[in-house]
Structure 1
């Protein structure tokens, strides 16, 4: 930095130190005034709404009484009673919002008129339901209730006018205060003009550099987005094209394995079984690549439904019993706690959750030597479902466990068993459900992968 720039920055600092306290105090004051105005606006709006609802309840009562008078039917009395209760509730809320003595006095008048009107209504309706003719009841209401009702409506209107007048007065005072503060800020801004002039020369250079950097970053982001979309489209096309022949091979191998004659040719049956297993592996790898492409492009979509987690886990466990036994690995599934007594239902994508559990079990069996153990357990803990897959396999160091969910990262021992996307995809699926996927592991002692899902997932 050259000498004049250093001096410029020192001068800018001194001016800023002199101007900033005034500016800060003014901004704080304006913020408080603005907050007070917002509260005043909200209070007035609430008052107007409640006054309108109060008037509406009175109109509803006035419409129910003639129905009872004309029909002599007591059925509307329940609705009339509820309307009176709502009227009293609205009146109480308005009392809490009233800000001056005049408004409270008017509300007291409204309450008194309402009590008198209810007394007359009860008397008139009792006469009608007691056998008086509609004409007699109507004459009673016209003589006694109608004038009171008009007086009550006028009192409600008077309260609304008082609320409006009070709001306008307070708003005008607040605006006068704001104008005064703005004048103070205007004078201070003129005094700080030199500060802006010096600062502008220095900032111009920084702005130009920042603009160049932002443009380069925008071009790079756009290019990365285009590349990501192109890669996603290419992966989807390739996956679709590969899926057809793989499905054909899988279908053919399963049909061949179902042939009774193949039982007399164990070598041939074993070869076909290897073809089927390799084809299943290939299809899983293609699905992982496609899912990972969707995750990178932000296109992972969940199809949520009500999922019986206990049944889902039991089904997945059943799928891996044979493969575990074939390898000589002891496999067990044990639901605990509430999951053992009742089903746990989640709003989730069942197919995706099954994919997560299947991937964890597949890895556990894959990396556990014959004679080892793999267990699947589940329980409800702290308003969440915890699913744990534990094995007695190779285990991992703390550093390896910290990176196990990173994209395309694998331990040396696992590098030959897949493309390294399964755990990354599983973590993305669990987090999309609002859950967590973690691991505890020690070298030579095995690993425990734990899926935690909120019950409201």
Structure 2
């Protein structure tokens, strides 16, 4: 049996995490703030620390750095949870974004307890640099993180409770009750997506988003994204027309995946009765071009100039988005030095084109 220290200022979340840890066969120590967590860790060194970031009396990252500076506790694995992406998150052994899936949390706890990695060389220097980065943060950035925490924490609590309820009821739950619970989970996911999009849009508008560019095989990456969609939407025919050779270019995989997921999601949502989405990938001088085409409702000519604006929502049946997806996608494309465009005819479908430079 391992000892897991859980630091979380929201009582409901603290009890859920503790229950999950105890159900896994471990002992949970509960702390309601960073100082209490530090005292417990020094009194009884844990085998794992699970901590929220935005807590009173010491944030999760501050708790992590204090533990790393203690000779007895510096090798204790640290699992950091946050609704935002705080400065210093890379110093944790594992970072999970709230709201977190029940299975994801369980797997992370089991995995970390099974491996106790030694601190990497240069960790102290990295921590010092991260502290300097944090000190230069703006008040607005802190406010955005606070908003994310205050909204996503109850969302995460509600979602984990719904998942636990489904698990405990098991086969005893009726189909109608299961359907209602799954509807609750879907609506909570929609709320989480909205909050995340608002934060992303704000950071993009203020130039707060930094890309993690790596040169890689874009052809293989595109195949991976499409395979995910084929598994997610088996009723839709996703076809790929591509260049016959491997194409390498610099890109941020996480951000480009967001762009493509947004385009593919819209193609499915507004594709009408033709359950088909065609993706083309080809090269033009200096550029790699990905086109996503559907044969659905299309976009009126009067709306085309506005589709990439914040909070613009297409006036079509089935339109249930929050009006930020294409704005964020377009901004991310420009950050890459590329662009995002659209051609569409009302009643005949739309083609969105993502252009990325082959070199920077």
Q: Same fold per TM (> 0.5)?
A: yes
Q: 2 CA distance for matches of 1:308 and 1:277?
A: 34
- Indicate yes or no: 2:299 matched with 1:396: yes
Counterpart of 1:352 (choices 255, 275, 285) is 255
User: CA offset at residue 433 of structure 1?
Assistant: 0.3
Report SS of the residue matched to 1:407.
coil
Matched residue, 1:242? 151
Matched residue, 2:35? none
Structure 2 stretches of 5 or more lacking a match? 1-137
Moved more, 404-413 or 417-426: 404-413
Q: 1 CA distance for matches of 2:141 and 2:188?
A: 23
Report SS of the residue matched to 1:413.
coil
Report SS of the residue matched to 2:291.
strand
Cα gap change, 1:452 to 1:270, in 2 (>3 Å): same
Contact in 1 for aligned 2:313/2:319 (Cα 8 Å): no
Contact in 2 for aligned 1:232/1:297 (Cα 8 Å): no
1:128-147 paired onto structure 2 within 5 Å: none
Contact in 1 for aligned 2:269/2:318 (Cα 8 Å): no
Matched residue, 1:208? none
Q: Which has the higher strand share?
A: 2
Contact in 2 for aligned 1:384/1:455 (Cα 8 Å): yes
Contact in 1 for aligned 2:273/2:296 (Cα 8 Å): no
| TM-score under structure 2 length normalisation | 0.55
| TM-score under structure 1 length normalisation | 0.44
Structure 1 stretches of 5 or more lacking a match? 1-228
Cα gap change, 1:253 to 1:380, in 2 (>3 Å): farther
Number of aligned positions between the proteins: 223
Contact in 2 for aligned 1:385/1:454 (Cα 8 Å): yes
Cα gap change, 1:415 to 1:366, in 2 (>3 Å): closer
Report SS of the residue matched to 1:362.
helix
Counterpart of 2:277 (choices 374, 396, 401) is 374
Cα gap change, 1:258 to 1:452, in 2 (>3 Å): farther
Cα gap change, 1:312 to 1:243, in 2 (>3 Å): farther
Cα gap change, 1:274 to 1:378, in 2 (>3 Å): farther
Cα gap change, 1:304 to 1:259, in 2 (>3 Å): farther
Matched residue, 1:316? 225
Counterpart of 1:280 (choices 180, 189, 206) is 189
1:49-198 paired onto structure 2 within 5 Å: none
User: CA offset at residue 241 of structure 1?
Assistant: 2.0
Counterpart of 1:337 (choices 243, 253, 263) is 243
Q: 2 CA distance for matches of 1:258 and 1:413?
A: 38
- 1:134-169 alpha-carbon deviations (Å, 9 max, x no partner): xxxxxxxxxxxxxxxxxxxxxxxxxxxxxxxxxxxx
Cα gap change, 1:318 to 1:271, in 2 (>3 Å): farther
Matched residue, 1:306? 215
Report SS of the residue matched to 1:405.
coil
1:386-425 paired onto structure 2 within 5 Å: 386-413=289-316, 417-425=320-328
Q: Which has the higher helix share?
A: 1
- 1:46-94 alpha-carbon deviations (Å, 9 max, x no partner): xxxxxxxxxxxxxxxxxxxxxxxxxxxxxxxxxxxxxxxxxxxxxxxxx
Cα gap change, 1:282 to 1:382, in 2 (>3 Å): same
Report SS of the residue matched to 2:281.
strand
Q: 2 CA distance for matches of 1:433 and 1:447?
A: 23
Matched residue, 2:332? 429
Cα gap change, 1:445 to 1:417, in 2 (>3 Å): same
Report SS of the residue matched to 1:274.
helix
Contact in 1 for aligned 2:297/2:346 (Cα 8 Å): yes
Report SS of the residue matched to 1:417.
coil
Counterpart of 1:293 (choices 196, 202, 207) is 202
User: CA offset at residue 420 of structure 1?
Assistant: 0.8
Q: 1 CA distance for matches of 2:340 and 2:353?
A: 6
Matched residue, 1:445? 348
Counterpart of 2:265 (choices 343, 362, 365) is 362
Cα gap change, 1:264 to 1:415, in 2 (>3 Å): closer
Cα gap change, 1:421 to 1:257, in 2 (>3 Å): same
Contact in 2 for aligned 1:394/1:445 (Cα 8 Å): yes
User: CA offset at residue 268 of structure 1?
Assistant: 2.6
- Considering only aligned residues, what root-mean-square deviation do their CA atoms show, in Å? 2.8
Q: 1 CA distance for matches of 2:163 and 2:223?
A: 24
Q: 2 CA distance for matches of 1:320 and 1:453?
A: 22
Cα gap change, 1:390 to 1:255, in 2 (>3 Å): farther
